[in-house]
Structure 1
Amino acid sequence: MAFDLADRGIYGFSTTENLRFADVDANGHINNGAFLELLENVRVSYLRQIVRTGLPRFRMVVGRIEADFKRQMFYPGTAVACCRLIEAHDRKCVVGQGLFDGEGNCTAVQKVIMVSLNEETHRATPFDPAVRAMLDRLVASKGGIDP
């Protein structure tokens, strides 16, 4: 299934983030690093509140981040950061994310590969079958939230 990460309608999970003066760079707009922090906030919240709920303990780490910056944002203001699972595999899953300004314009999209990690060996390991089943359901669900 292909997802247009710039389409606000594909996301069922989001957070509203305040843009800070400290996030402004020398060009007078919100720094790209702040975009990544805003997207990290929603990703961590999504993983804790939606993905991990009711499952056996498992650990994931970021294996890759691919971000596309689409337009500027300015202080003061707010942004809506969105998140959903877009792929599930044996040892990894892909989180799709979008960042939207206060007017609803897409300002950035991001794909994050999360790798299943064995806590003892610190090496990639297959997901527990219950976890994998939940990941598959989230990918297939409307908005990335289990129905």
Structure 2
Amino acid sequence: MTKDLANYKYRTVIPIRFSDIDAYGNVSNTIYLSYFEIARLSYWKEVVDWDWSSYGVILGRSEINYLKPIKVDDQIACYLRTSRIGNSSFDVIYVVVKIGPNGEEEICTTGKSVCISYDYTNYKSVPIPQRERQRMIEYDEPGLITNTN
């Protein structure tokens, strides 16, 4: 997982909710997957324009690296990109940053998800639709995506 933000084009602001906070005033470790999910869905809508009427996506695995705590009053954003594309699965990597008062960004968390193109009608994985595959490759720069086909 690269922490070099120059490798990420997609960024979305994530709202911190009161229910995200634990007894110590930090974002609870369980909430980071929700932040990844918010960013992932925004990316699929805004960049990939995933056709949900044809096939869906299920989550195969997730990893989280907690680097620095996030507090209730912090402003945060999540960068993400597709980093690997296979036949029916692809990897999405994340960097959650805290936004400082002058717009500076401090990396707090990194993560990765393995996503699987899925046919909910037949309950099985399917090849990633060509249009969605091409949009991910074009947006996230072919030189930065590992193609495992």
What band does the TM-score fall into relative to the shorter chain? Answer: 0.7 to 0.9
Q: For residues 13 and 30 of structure 2, what CA distance do their matches in structure 1 show?
A: 17
Q: Please state how far the C-alpha of 1:54 moved relative to its aligned partner.
A: 8.1
1:91, 1:126 within 8 Å by CA — same for their partners in 2? yes
Q: Give the corresponding residue for 1:62.
A: 59
Q: Please state how far the C-alpha of 1:17 moved relative to its aligned partner.
A: 2.0
Q: For residues 14 and 143 of structure 2, what CA distance do their matches in structure 1 show?
A: 23
Q: Which runs of 5+ in 1 are unaligned?
A: none
Q: For residues 9 and 95 of structure 1, what CA distance do their matches in structure 2 show?
A: 16
Q: Give the corresponding residue for 2:46.
A: 49
Question: Structure 1: which amino acid aligns with 2:11?
Answer: S
Q: Give the corresponding residue for 2:128.
A: 127
2:9, 2:140 within 8 Å by CA — same for their partners in 1? no
- Determine if the alignment matches structure 1 residue 38 to structure 2 residue 31: no
Q: Give the corresponding residue for 1:95.
A: 92
Q: 1:55 to 1:133 in 2, by over 3 A?
A: farther
Q: Please state how far the C-alpha of 1:70 moved relative to its aligned partner.
A: 0.9
Q: 1:16 to 1:128 in 2, by over 3 A?
A: closer
Q: For residues 82 and 142 of structure 1, what CA distance do their matches in structure 2 show?
A: 18
Deviations 1:8-65 (A, max 9, x none): 2222111112323322212221111222222211111001111126899332111111
Q: Which runs of 5+ in 2 are unaligned?
A: none
Question: Structure 2: which amino acid aligns with 1:11?
Answer: Y
Q: RMSD value over aligned CA atoms?
A: 2.6
Determine which of 20, 23, 28 is the counterpart of 2:20.
23
Question: Structure 1: which amino acid aligns with 2:118?
Answer: L
Q: For residues 71 and 87 of structure 1, what CA distance do their matches in structure 2 show?
A: 26
User: TM (normalized to structure 2)?
Assistant: 0.80
User: TM (normalized to structure 1)?
Assistant: 0.81
1:13, 1:143 within 8 Å by CA — same for their partners in 2? no
**Segment drifting more, 122-131 vs 81-90:** 122-131
